[in-house]
Amino acid sequence: MASRDKNGKIRGKIDNIVYRGYKDKQIMQIAPKRVKQTLSTKLSALEFGLAARQAKFMRKVFHNVYEECDGNMVRRFTATVATCIRTAEKEIGERDLHDADLSQLRGFSFNENAPFEKLVAASPKLYVAANGSIRFELGPFVPADDIVYPPNFFRPNCSFGIFAVAFDFRKGNVQIVEYAGFDFTEEDSNQAEIAWSCNKLLPEGYIVLVVFCLRYFSLNWLGQRTQTTNKDFYPSIILDAFHVTPEMTVLGAADQLQPPSDDDFSSYGDTRGRISQRVARLITKAIKK
């Protein structure tokens, strides 16, 4: 049903024509015909919804790590998670990231406007041992020469951060396994390097993401940090994403790796969104037809 607003513009629908006003113009659009979706299309849409939900879960956890992102990050990240899920051999509704090949997540950049390779001359290296221990290396590099700093930023310093976080998407649980920061100054002309290791016992069945970021800041006369507001200087990437296998847990326990603190454990509830039940209902309905 259509009606005329106070400005004399028609708003609403008459037959298959939708009327609306925009500024001083009258806009008319043809309403699209209802498209009958196939079962396959409906199932794919539900699975993409699952990917979006699990991607949102990770973004929520890492929001304060990547801080700034490019305008397409949400779409790119969801699409990457969906691609991973589709590698699983199980059927739609029975699979999620825990069944998937996670290699597509490795190297994912949260901010394509700030690529690491254009800001830092040295390349990060990450190694995951059979017992689940993680080793990270960067350098050697010279902070004054091998790092690009924001222009017109008074006495800039920089800080590298690395975070290892474990996810259980089926229960909605998260464990902050380990994190560390490494500060450098633009005036430092000495050779530097970063060598960091994580020897925490990883929780079996979880998925571990290792995220690496770089932040730029200046120090005021009170020693307080002020970060740059230039969004092109907020690089953050996923260095690795891997499943914690039973073998990792057994070997880690045998090597007496230290379990994470209970204070680093959080629960976010259901992240699957009852996708499996909705898929089952669709398939049952299709069989009856």
CA-based torsion, 66, 68, 74, 79: positive or negative: negative
**Residue-level pLDDT at 73:** 97
The pLDDT value recorded for residue 175 is: 92
Structure token digits, residue 98: 């825990």
Place of tokens 């005021």: 220
- Ranges of the chain whose pLDDT falls below 50: none
Reduced to 3 states (helix: H, G, I; strand: E, B; else coil), residue 84 is helix
Can you give the pLDDT at residue 268? 72
pLDDT of amino acid 195: 96
pLDDT score of 26: 78
Q: How far apart are CA 279 and CA 287, in angstroms?
A: 12
What is the distance, to the nearest Å, from the Cα of residue 54 to the centroid of all Cα atoms in its chain? 9
Contact 101, 243 (CB under 8 A): no
Contact 58, 46 (CB under 8 A): no
Q: Quote the CA–CA distance of 21 and 157 in Å, as a whole number.
A: 52
pLDDT at 71: 93
Q: In this predicted structure, what is the pLDDT of residue 46?
A: 83
User: Residue 254: what pLDDT?
Assistant: 93
pLDDT tens figures, 266-288:
777 666 666 666 666 766 665 66
Question: What confidence tens digit (pLDDT) does each residue in 212-235 have?
Answer: 999 999 987 777 888 999 999 999
Looking at residue 65, what is its pLDDT?
94
